[in-house]
Chains A and B, each alone.
Chain A
């Protein structure tokens, strides 16, 4: 850690000394999540979701490995093997429901984590790489979750595989060969199922590796905090252990209660009933929708119909299909540019009155996109998706750059400790007039 007051690791036993001189692994752990990592003292509950995401990554890896001990990746046997897990394997029903709902809760946690970062400016200097590595984790999570959903080889599995590999066919020239290469055939079949199993096993370990890089990058500047004000002195911080291990610990338990309530009492509430029908390559279900955590992006994809009056220069170069696919990918890739689109020097949304309003509009916009993405594409739904898609991109490309220029932020607290240890009156005093500054 870069703070001068971080407590150095001191081995207490002879064995500890012996290990520390040869492989200082306990020293590294102590500095990362122990008493040697000072953390701002004013973190609120929005800061619990990083650790929680790590917990769900572990839940998914452990339940995933045990499910792979009973699952067959064969087109003729995959669906039956999942039912075998449900009926015959000891606690198989619980492990499968824990894994399936674990994916949903992983995404709930990550969405809250992302929107926390968006509100508190956690993507701003010097934490740009933390943000970008997080986006890499998010992209890997989506790829992993997609391939995992294919494995039971139900109707939603099959048609999800058909549609999502179909995204790649939108690209001119390379599109169709790329899709056939991804599938190993002309439609999802044995080759596709087997390779998705292999990659679904691989990617969580890649995610774990990127999470290590992300944590490493975070620990250089240290955690951000709700004021967005930099840590200036020791009294601004608390050691991670025991203060934040305890807070994270109790919050993880509280959140897991909600998770297990769903696993035990509503295990199919977040899933789609059609995935209990075995895959049929000759019939698409009439009410096909992706998993809920993909719906906003699905809304952006579906917003591009040719009827939409986008000024094409050449209709052959940018058909609706390609525009939809590019926009869907761009809706995530644009977040990589966020640290350079939002130029306001004030990090926290608490002190940005204009930003705050547009932030909540963005939250509503993403919820609307998610609702429209799951609805039947009738004319009003399509129009809603188109407006919401325009707003989504306008937020990042137009609104954020403008408000970071014209906004007059509220006065910031002098320090993290003054925002915590003194009252709201001092915090809201005009710059230079607070008592602690006198």
Chain B
């Protein structure tokens, strides 16, 4: 206590007062409190329990003939399921991998034993529009696959990006074949 008498009340020799520590502690604690207020205000906008409860869907693909495709709805997004023709598979296999923006073979994008069944999200990897080409009569683009009307991305018969602004191939969701004719997606 003898040292204290030489300096301003409550301060140590290097000029730091206990009150300075109290100020720092008070402002820090106010910061923690502000953070605790901001977290729920921001987090409420993230997907709620209702949306996170994502069921998987089962799709019967027995009626699909080669060259036919259907659109299923999963996670509120379209899933393209298409039975490829031999010509489309041959066309996809002929493309050299180094000609692709996002290299992948048709075999990489399908399941063993079901090379003719191409299942992918019908969501353009650019800004999320549904590409044309799964339904009869729609434009298939320059590579006999899919054409996104929003910004002009072209995908080939294996759903790989070939031209336009999209960065990657159409995404392949998790799925399993329950039997030869029923697929579970998700």
Smallest Cβ distance from B94 to chain A, in angstroms? 22
What is the bound-complex CA distance between A64 and B160, given in angstroms? 45
What is the bound-complex CA distance between A186 and B77, given in angstroms? 8
Residue B152 at the A interface, CB < 8 A? yes
Residue A305 at the B interface, CB < 8 A? yes
Residue A139 at the B interface, CB < 8 A? no
- Find out whether the CB atom of B77 lies under 8 angstroms from the CB atom of A187: yes
Instruction: Report which of B42, B75, B122, B164 forms a contact with A305, defined as CB distance below 8 A.
Output: B164
Which A42-68 residues sit within 8 Å CB-CB of chain B?
none
Instruction: Report which of B48, B129, B163 forms a contact with A307, defined as CB distance below 8 A.
Output: B163
Residue B56 at the A interface, CB < 8 A? no
List 6 tightest A-B contacts by C-beta distance, closest first.
A166-B127, A377-B152, A284-B129, A319-B167, A166-B128, A187-B76
Name which residue of chain B comes closest to A379, CB basis: B152
- Find out whether the CB atom of B151 lies under 8 angstroms from the CB atom of A189: no
Residue positions of B touching A, CB distance < 8 A: 42, 45-48, 51, 71, 73, 75-78, 101, 122, 125-132, 139, 148-152, 163-167
Complex interface bits, A159-185 against B, C-beta within 8 A gives 1, otherwise 0: 100110111010000000000111011
- Find out whether the CB atom of A304 lies under 8 angstroms from the CB atom of B165: yes
List B contacts of A254 (CB < 8 A).
Answer: none
What is the bound-complex CA distance between A189 and B52, given in angstroms? 13
- Find out whether the CB atom of B167 lies under 8 angstroms from the CB atom of A320: yes
Known A187-B77, A195-B45; contact A305-B167, beta-carbon cutoff 8 A = no
Which A307-361 residues sit within 8 Å CB-CB of chain B?
307, 319-322, 324
Smallest Cβ distance from A372 to chain B, in angstroms? 12
Smallest Cβ distance from A337 to chain B, in angstroms? 27
- Find out whether the CB atom of A281 lies under 8 angstroms from the CB atom of B73: yes
- Find out whether the CB atom of B163 lies under 8 angstroms from the CB atom of A185: no
Smallest Cβ distance from A308 to chain B, in angstroms? 9
List B contacts of A163 (CB < 8 A).
Answer: 127-129, 150
Instruction: Report which of B75, B130, B132 forms a contact with A282, defined as CB distance below 8 A.
Output: B130
Name which residue of chain A comes closest to B72, CB basis: A282
- Find out whether the CB atom of A302 lies under 8 angstroms from the CB atom of B152: yes
Residue A382 at the B interface, CB < 8 A? yes
Instruction: Report which of B128, B151, B166 forms a contact with A377, defined as CB distance below 8 A.
Output: B151
- Which segment, of A285-293, A386-394, A407-415, faces chain B? A285-293
What is the bound-complex CA distance between A285 and B150, given in angstroms? 9
Which A8-51 residues sit within 8 Å CB-CB of chain B?
none
- Find out whether the CB atom of B152 lies under 8 angstroms from the CB atom of A382: yes
- Find out whether the CB atom of A191 lies under 8 angstroms from the CB atom of B167: no
- Find out whether the CB atom of A166 lies under 8 angstroms from the CB atom of B126: yes
- Find out whether the CB atom of A167 lies under 8 angstroms from the CB atom of B127: yes
What is the bound-complex CA distance between A53 and B71, given in angstroms? 46
Residue A4 at the B interface, CB < 8 A? no
Name which residue of chain B comes closest to A186, CB basis: B75
- Find out whether the CB atom of B75 lies under 8 angstroms from the CB atom of A187: yes
Instruction: Report which of B78, B129, B139 forms a contact with A288, defined as CB distance below 8 A.
Output: B129
Instruction: Report which of A191, A286, A324 forms a contact with B132, defined as CB distance below 8 A.
Output: A286
6 contacts between A and B (CB under 8 A): A281-B76, A284-B132, A284-B148, A284-B150, A319-B167, A321-B126
- Find out whether the CB atom of B163 lies under 8 angstroms from the CB atom of A305: yes
- Find out whether the CB atom of B73 lies under 8 angstroms from the CB atom of A159: no
What is the bound-complex CA distance between A182 and B149, given in angstroms? 24
Instruction: Report which of A180, A283, A285 forms a contact with B46, defined as CB distance below 8 A.
Output: A180
What is the bound-complex CA distance between A322 and B125, given in angstroms? 12
**4 additional contacts (CB under 8 A) given A282-B73, A284-B131, A288-B129:** A284-B132, A286-B149, A307-B163, A321-B166
- Find out whether the CB atom of B73 lies under 8 angstroms from the CB atom of A302: no
- Find out whether the CB atom of B48 lies under 8 angstroms from the CB atom of A184: yes
Which A232-285 residues sit within 8 Å CB-CB of chain B?
281-285
Complex interface bits, A195-237 against B, C-beta within 8 A gives 1, otherwise 0: 1000000000000000000000000000000000000000000
- Find out whether the CB atom of B149 lies under 8 angstroms from the CB atom of A287: yes
Smallest Cβ distance from A133 to chain B, in angstroms? 26
What is the bound-complex CA distance between A301 and B130, given in angstroms? 18
Known A282-B130, A321-B126; contact A288-B149, beta-carbon cutoff 8 A = yes
- Find out whether the CB atom of A306 lies under 8 angstroms from the CB atom of B78: no
What is the bound-complex CA distance between A180 and B45, given in angstroms? 9
- Find out whether the CB atom of B129 lies under 8 angstroms from the CB atom of A185: no
Known A166-B127, A321-B126; contact A302-B48, beta-carbon cutoff 8 A = no
What is the bound-complex CA distance between A324 and B165, given in angstroms? 8
List A contacts of B149 (CB < 8 A).
Answer: 284-288
What is the bound-complex CA distance between A274 and B63, given in angstroms? 33
Instruction: Report which of A167, A191, A285, A306 forms a contact with B47, defined as CB distance below 8 A.
Output: A191
- Find out whether the CB atom of A162 lies under 8 angstroms from the CB atom of B78: no
What is the bound-complex CA distance between A304 and B165, given in angstroms? 7
List B contacts of A165 (CB < 8 A).
Answer: 128
Smallest Cβ distance from A265 to chain B, in angstroms? 31
Name which residue of chain B comes closest to A323, CB basis: B165
List A contacts of B132 (CB < 8 A).
Answer: 284, 286
- Find out whether the CB atom of A320 lies under 8 angstroms from the CB atom of B165: yes
What is the bound-complex CA distance between A200 and B152, given in angstroms? 30
Smallest Cβ distance from A73 to chain B, in angstroms? 15
**B129, B165, B167 interface centre (most CB from chain A within 10 Å):** B165
What is the bound-complex CA distance between A287 and B139, given in angstroms? 12
**B45, B71, B127, B129 interface centre (most CB from chain A within 10 Å):** B127
- Find out whether the CB atom of B128 lies under 8 angstroms from the CB atom of A185: no
Known A189-B76, A285-B149; contact A184-B46, beta-carbon cutoff 8 A = yes
**A162, A165, A181, A285 interface centre (most CB from chain B within 10 Å):** A162
- Find out whether the CB atom of A159 lies under 8 angstroms from the CB atom of B150: yes
Smallest Cβ distance from A102 to chain B, in angstroms? 27
- Find out whether the CB atom of B77 lies under 8 angstroms from the CB atom of A281: yes
